[in-house]
Amino acid sequence: MISVRVPATSANLGPGYDAVGLALSLSMRISLERAPQPLVEVHGVGADLVPRGTDHPAYRAARFVARELGESDAHFHLVQENDIPPARGLGGSAAALVGGAVAANDLLGRAMAPPDLLNLVCDLDGHPDNAAPALLGGLVIGTLTPEGIRSVRLEPKGLKAVVAVPDFEVSTAAARYALPDSVPHRDAAFNVGRAGLLLGALATGEYGLLRVAMQDKLHQPYRSHLIPGLEDVIEAACRNGAYGSCLSGSGPTVLAFAPEEHADRIARAMHATFEERGIEAQAWALDVDLAGARVEPPGEVAAPSPVAVT
């Protein structure tokens, strides 16, 4: 059985809507072997929310890779061991897609080249902001073009990623429905300027610019009604030493970039702010995952789960 460890991801990062994503040290493991008939097992966090049949995202990706490699009749036994809270804006579906694709490619002889695998997972997920960092690790800026994915990967140094995860779901469909069909030109210009500043700050280590650089007018204002306390949690993070904070993906998770020495304090403040609103939550101070999806040697002990800060 092939086992692949895949990180959670935080997408959008303020102004970088559908283009910027970050891999986090919270993960799932997808294990795959050939089988006479499809069999899917799911264990761990949110197991009751994950499909068990062939519509499981990892299984769909594995079958897609098999067809691409000329094995359209292949079936698999798939096991997902999950630490990524589903439907919370942490890229769980994209991680599963990546895990299934990487595991199938390894199981079937690694015939698919890395650039083709990247194009495949981004195409299956619909955009690169979660799938690309889940596969490559680090921070990835990418866009889909007719010729395939075009991306740049960065490795931010000296940063912790604090995530506060409230105990309710925001469906991707609801989050997308909340967005308007058009936005004012001045709001688009606002985001373009801050997106450039965001990437410059992360590339050069000038993290003091992140509070301004992570501001957004294209998706957070329209989705804030779906996440009670969003602005208060962002403000609590910054007040307690975060460089900047924003909604993670479509939410409801809130992300903050933090210096290591303040990360636990920021996590506690974000957690407490949700709790003051009567919303149960968990908070983690995570590292940036630089490895991305990786095949684990047989018999390797599972990576320890990060401990929530409360």
Task: Read off the pLDDT of each residue in 13-42 and give the average, rounded to a whole number.
Answer: 93
**What pLDDT was estimated at residue 12?**
85
Residues with Cβ within 8 Å of 51's Cβ and at least 6 positions away in sequence, in order, are 40
Mean pLDDT taken over the chain = 93
Question: What is the spatial distance between Cα 35 and Cα 276, in angstroms, rounded to a whole number?
Answer: 50
229 labelled ligand-binding: no
**What pLDDT was estimated at residue 300?**
65
94 labelled ligand-binding: yes
Show the tokens assigned to 303: 């990576």
Show the tokens assigned to 108: 């079937």
Of 49-58, 84-93, 104-113, 300-309, where does mean pLDDT reach its minimum? Answer: 300-309
pLDDT in tens, 116-146: 999 999 999 988 999 999 999 999 999 988 8
236 labelled ligand-binding: no
Q: Name the percent of the chain lying above pLDDT 70.
A: 97
- 52 touches 42 (CB < 8 A): yes
Alpha helix (H) residue ranges in 109-254 = 114-125, 128-136, 172-177, 185-204, 210-213, 220-223, 230-239
**What pLDDT was estimated at residue 170?**
85
Comparison of pLDDT for 171 and 198, the residue scoring more: 198
**What pLDDT was estimated at residue 49?**
87
**What pLDDT was estimated at residue 175?**
86
Report the residue count for the chain.
Answer: 310
Confidence band for 302, pLDDT divided at 50, 70 and 90: low
Question: What is the spatial distance between Cα 87 and Cα 172, in angstroms, rounded to a whole number?
Answer: 8
pLDDT in tens, 181-234: 999 999 999 999 999 999 999 999 999 999 999 999 999 999 999 999 999 999
Whether the pLDDT of residue 56 is over 80: the answer is yes
Q: What is the pTM of this model?
A: 0.94
Task: Read off the pLDDT of each residue in 43-71 and give the average, rounded to a whole number.
Answer: 94
Show the tokens assigned to 266: 């920021």
221 labelled ligand-binding: no
89 labelled ligand-binding: yes
Residue 167: strand, helix, or coil: coil
95 labelled ligand-binding: yes
- 262 touches 241 (CB < 8 A): yes
Whether the pLDDT of residue 14 is over 70: the answer is yes
Confidence band for 173, pLDDT divided at 50, 70 and 90: confident
**What pLDDT was estimated at residue 68?**
94
Task: Read off the pLDDT of each residue in 81-92 and give the average, rounded to a whole number.
Answer: 94
90 labelled ligand-binding: yes
218 labelled ligand-binding: no
Could you tell me the domains of the chain? 2-155 (3.30.230.10), 160-287 (3.30.70.890)
293 labelled ligand-binding: no
Whether the pLDDT of residue 247 is over 70: the answer is yes
Whether the pLDDT of residue 301 is over 70: the answer is no
Nearest to 168 by CA among 256, 228, 243: 228
